[in-house]
């Protein structure tokens, strides 16, 4: 009888402990100082447009074209940067806060505003980076949709005078780099295809 009472007491104690234990709240993620500074540095150019130039080897579709970036929109969680190549307005870089890291995605549209066959590829930074540079290794979505791009690494730099967008595929020696002069604003370009009514 004494054993039964002891067992019942133990079960009652455990049940009371479990039901009264407070649930752990999901942690709120905050940017590391260097990551937040990068975000602030990029956001500081919001609303402005800048001329760019290809500084690596010639690339079909980019060489000889008028290259313009426009920091279109900035808020606490997302920065939109259209990148126009000549008359081609298919590209928008989308920077998004993901927990305590930054995600870079490439939004590609057709001229009618519909999604391109290949779009929304990119990656998320895997460390805090620095105030002037963030790295974005290709994510699983990119590998699933573009198998040959599984080893892509993008990186973006920004300081007081230059913004650069860079791409390298691990295993290849070639690098794609476009640099934009942040000291000289240019006329705001037409919006990227599919974003004509953004903000309205």
Domains and CATH numbers, the chain: 32-185 (2.40.128)
DSSP state letter for 4 = H
Give the alpha-carbon dihedral of 124, 126, 128, 133, to 10 degrees.
-60
Q: Quick one: pLDDT at residue 198?
A: 86
| 3-class secondary structure, 40 | helix
Encode pLDDT of 22-67 as tens digits.
343 434 557 889 999 999 999 999 999 999 999 998 899 999 999 9
Structure tokens at 191: 């919006």
Structure tokens at 175: 């690098």
Residue 197 half-sphere exposure, CB side, CA atoms within 13 Å?
Answer: 2
Give the alpha-carbon dihedral of 43, 45, 50, 55, to 10 degrees.
-60
Dist. CA 73–CA 50, nearest whole Å = 15
Residues 6+ apart with CB under 8 A from 32: 100, 128
| CB neighbourhood size of 33 (10 A) | 10
Structure tokens at 67: 């290259």
Q: Quick one: pLDDT at residue 200?
A: 61
Phi, psi for residue 181 in degrees, rounded to 5: -85, 105
With a pLDDT cut of 90, the percent of the chain lying above it is 77
Largest CA distance in the chain: 93
| 3-class secondary structure, 147 | helix
Dist. CA 166–CA 150, nearest whole Å = 16
Give, for all 200 residues of the chain, the pLDDT tens digit: 444 444 343 434 333 433 443 343 434 557 889 999 999 999 999 999 999 999 998 899 999 999 999 999 999 999 999 999 999 999 999 999 998 999 999 999 999 999 999 999 999 999 999 999 999 999 999 999 999 999 999 999 999 999 999 999 999 888 999 999 999 999 999 999 999 888 76
Are 106 and 119 a contacting pair, CB within 8 Å? yes
């Amino acid at each position: 009888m004494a054993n039964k009472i002891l067992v019942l007491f133990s079960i009652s104690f455990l049940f009371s402990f479990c039901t009264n234990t407070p649930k752990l709240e999901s942690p709120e993620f905050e940017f590391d100082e260097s990551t937040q500074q990068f975000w602030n540095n990029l956001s500081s150019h919001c609303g402005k447009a800048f001329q760019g130039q290809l500084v690596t080897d010639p690339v079909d579709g980019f060489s000889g074209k008028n290259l313009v970036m426009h920091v279109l929109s900035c808020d606490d969680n997302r920065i939109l940067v259209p990148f126009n190549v000549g008359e081609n307005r298919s590209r928008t870089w989308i920077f998004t806060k993901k927990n305590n890291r930054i995600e870079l995605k490439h939004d590609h549209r057709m001229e009618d505003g519909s999604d391109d066959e290949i779009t929304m590829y990119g990656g998320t930074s895997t460390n805090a980076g620095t105030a002037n540079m963030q790295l974005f290794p290709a994510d699983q979505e990119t590998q699933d949709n573009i198998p040959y791009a599984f080893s892509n690494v993008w990186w973006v730099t920004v300081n007081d005078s230059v913004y650069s967008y860079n791409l390298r595929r691990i295993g290849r020696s070639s690098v794609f780099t476009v640099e934009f002069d942040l000291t000289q604003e240019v006329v705001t370009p037409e919006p990227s295809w599919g974003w004509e009514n953004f903000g309205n």
